[in-house]
Structure 1
Amino acid sequence: MIFHRIRKVIVNSVNGTITVEGVDDDFVTVEYEIHGEADVEVKQEGDTLIVREKPKERRIFGIIKTSSEGRADIWISVPRNVEVEISSVNGPIKAENCLVRSVNSTNSGITLKGVEVSEVRTVNGSITGSIELAKDLDVKAVNGRIELEIQDIEGDGMITAVNGSIKLTLTEFCDVTIIAKTVNGKVEAPPREGRYELRVHTVNGSVKVEVI
């Protein structure tokens, strides 16, 4: 499916995988593969495209019931300037070379590659990959590790974990003061001051920050 004049994409999934990739086209494409009892709803509202995985509904003795035994794997390609909001329950998320306004998951991991991003959150999953530009960054993992490479940062940022270690690799373009803390673990971070403030905290786990 191809959609034109889209400025924002919202994608939600239950059980299935979500893959979003930024491309040089001026239109959005959506593909999906259904396994078992699941449906995918795709609708355009003005300049916003909504893609949602839904459990299949069945009528049994006049009562509508939903099935949790299926999944839909979703692939979306977007122009690089189109904002994307991604959320998933029980399915991994991968975003590459795109503008991610927010990405949220439960019981699944998040993988980023070359994205511009603001908010990344997961419960019972890891957050890994690379960020091209972090704008007012808010990253949080509960019961999972965080391992990120960050090319550049605009605005103050916060990266926190509960029951997970944090490993960051920053470039010299990241003009930040690093404030790193842990309650139960080891902290390794270079003394560094900059225009913005980057707080890196975990409760149970180590914190390691490198600047290359």
Structure 2
Amino acid sequence: MIPTHDLLVFAGAALLLVLTPGPNMLYLISRSICQGRTAGVISLAGVVLGFFVHMLAASLGLTALFMAVPLAFELLKWAGAAYLLWMAWQAVRPGGLSPFAQTTQLPAESPRKLFAMGLFTSILNPKVAIFYLSIFPQFVSPAQGSVFWQSVTLGMVQIGTSFTVNLLIALFAAHIALWFRDNPHWLRAQKWIMGTVLAGLAVRLALEQRR
């Protein structure tokens, strides 16, 4: 079993992931603004299925990797820390735009195509793949039982967190975009808070010892 404290820290990392602009967020925002809430929710269903694909691939891969190459933990640990530092820089870098300012006009599509586009956007999203492969190992320990089921547990936490946040984005994208447009100081504060927390989490993972 994964300790409750580690689950809470991981949930925080998953929350920061979903709040950091990426392909999934930009697609859901654009789709919701251009075609309405229903289209956004259908697209989200495809995105969530893509998360399950990533979760199963990472769970099976990490199980095999931990058994075959014990020292892989160190490599993945530093990769995870570097990735979080990169996300921290992306959050605070000069000239960075709000995801609500990056939305594009999308043509109306059928529910089936909306679902498929959401699925492939999620599966092909490198941000999610790197998160699973670099962050999962920091919270998994063979001494705590099955690596596979620990990975599945972490995956369900990430999926639940991402679904909740993305659902709110899909439902209220237009209102959120308008609010940020009228309150730009909150956007600047959010960027620096996110960057600081991501950098702190990167340091924590870099100092983490294999359990």
- TM class by smaller structure: under 0.3
TM-score of the aligned structures, taking structure 2 as reference length: 0.21
TM-score of the aligned structures, taking structure 1 as reference length: 0.21
Greater RCO structure (CA 8 Å; 6+ sep): 2
Q: Is the helix fraction higher in 1 or 2?
A: 2
Q: Is the strand fraction higher in 1 or 2?
A: 1
- Report the structure number with the largest CA radius of gyration: 1
